[in-house]
């Protein structure tokens, strides 16, 4: 491992077209919106930005500032259009290495059209892949000397699955945030070290395995098929209700999962990107804990991990505080705090 751990985020880069509105119009209705803004996002880019911001102080050039706790690289593709350079520059401003980002000739940069309802802060999103769809199944996207790889599912699914297997074969820690959620092959679950989903994504994934009729009864029932499939660490985000996690170690010994209450929020301004902030924060804690990580073999149940320096409980609790702070601000990426802004 290098002097600091290296996180590679493999996923989408999109232009965000954000409209804020008092309420969402009904079918056939036209409303006057409050504002419009163009931003740079995509789940991959959002999570890379979150990882980078949360691994360093807000003023990294200050002589008194601590050095970053991780290097963060973005792996993906943008189009050869008017948006691509702005996208790359915005990531660089947050300290992200963009040398692994391709410029796809003849393609447009991906877009996300986002409606934010001002009264509640809730969002609705339409995604157009553009250059995010250029990758082939066997493209190897894993950078050299990487310690943690973080995937979503806004680039081709076959590319994601192939690179999860490549990363695991190289001994790299794999985090998957399967959004948008699609059923994935049961054979891939043992190669995922950390699976982070919201409740609806967990339902889709668990229902594609065994016992779908039990999946909605309670969180332990919802998590059981995924843990049975070989996932060592499962995290289910629950919005204002908090966060639930379960591990293969706890599951195999008959213990229930744990529910972490939501951190207090002064006022919800914008929930866009809160999930990405949570995932990025969790990834940073996984990377920081790698130096003191201890592999644990569980007889008959595969592997798991604990960290002498950072426990799953601590990582989830910190990620929850990060997500809570992010919803108090506007923007999917602009709302993500820096590392020294979260206790």
Tokens 């192939």, located at residue: 162
Q: Which residues are annotated as a binding site?
A: 14-16, 42-46, 154, 198, 237-242, 270, 272, 275-276, 326, 329, 331
Helix (H, G, I), strand (E, B) or coil at 53: helix
How far is the CA of 237 from the CAs of 59, 79, 109, 279, 327, in angstroms?
30, 32, 29, 10, 14
Burial class (CB in 10 A: 0-12, 13-18, 19+), 81: middle
Annotated catalytic sites, by residue?
Answer: 276
Q: 118 is written with which tokens?
A: 């001002």
Write out the DSSP string of 128-193: E-GGGG---TT---PPTT-SEEEE-SSS-HHHHHHHHHHHHHTT-EEEE---S-----GGGGGG-S
The separation between CA 278 and the C-alpha centre of its own chain, rounded to angstroms, equals 7
**8 A C-beta contact, residue 13 and residue 135:** no
* Tokens found for residue 150: 């973080």
């Amino acid at each position: 491992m290098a002097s600091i751990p290296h996180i590679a985020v493999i996923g989408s880069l999109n232009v965000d077209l954000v409209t804020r509105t008092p309420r969402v119009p009904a079918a056939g209705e036209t409303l006057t919106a409050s504002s419009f803004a163009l931003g740079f996002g995509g789940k991959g880019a959002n999570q890379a930005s979150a990882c980078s911001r949360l691994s360093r102080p807000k003023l990294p050039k200050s002589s008194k500032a601590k050095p970053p706790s991780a290097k963060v690289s973005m792996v993906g593709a943008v189009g050869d259009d008017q948006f691509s350079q702005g996208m790359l520059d915005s990531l660089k401003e947050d300290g992200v290495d963009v040398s692994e980002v391709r410029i796809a000739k003849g393609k447009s940069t991906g877009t996300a059209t986002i409606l934010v309802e001002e009264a509640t802060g809730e969002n609705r999103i339409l995604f157009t892949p553009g250059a995010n769809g250029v990758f082939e199944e066997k493209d190897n996207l894993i950078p050299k000397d990487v310690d943690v790889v973080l995937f979503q599912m806004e680039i081709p699914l076959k590319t994601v699955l192939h690179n999860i297997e490549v990363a695991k074969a190289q001994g790299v820690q794999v985090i998957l945030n399967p959004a948008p959620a699609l059923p994935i092959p049961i054979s891939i679950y043992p190669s995922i070290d950390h699976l982070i989903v919201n409740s609806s994504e967990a339902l889709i994934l668990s229902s594609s395995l065994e016992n779908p009729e039990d999946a909605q009864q309670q969180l332990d029932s919802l998590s059981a098929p995924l843990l049975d499939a070989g996932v060592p660490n499962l995290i289910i985000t629950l919005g204002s209700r908090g966060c639930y996690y379960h591990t293969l170690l706890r599951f195999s010994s008959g213990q229930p999962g744990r529910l972490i209450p939501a951190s207090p929020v002064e006022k919800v301004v914008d929930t866009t990107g809160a999930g990405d902030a949570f995932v990025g924060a969790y990834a940073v804690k996984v990377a920081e804990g790698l130096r003191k990580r201890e592999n644990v073999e569980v007889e008959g149940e595969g592997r798991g991990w604990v960290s002498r320096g950072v426990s799953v409980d601590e990582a989830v609790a910190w990620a929850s505080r990060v997500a809570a702070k992010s919803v108090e601000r506007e923007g999917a990426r602009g709302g993500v705090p820096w590392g020294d802004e979260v206790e």
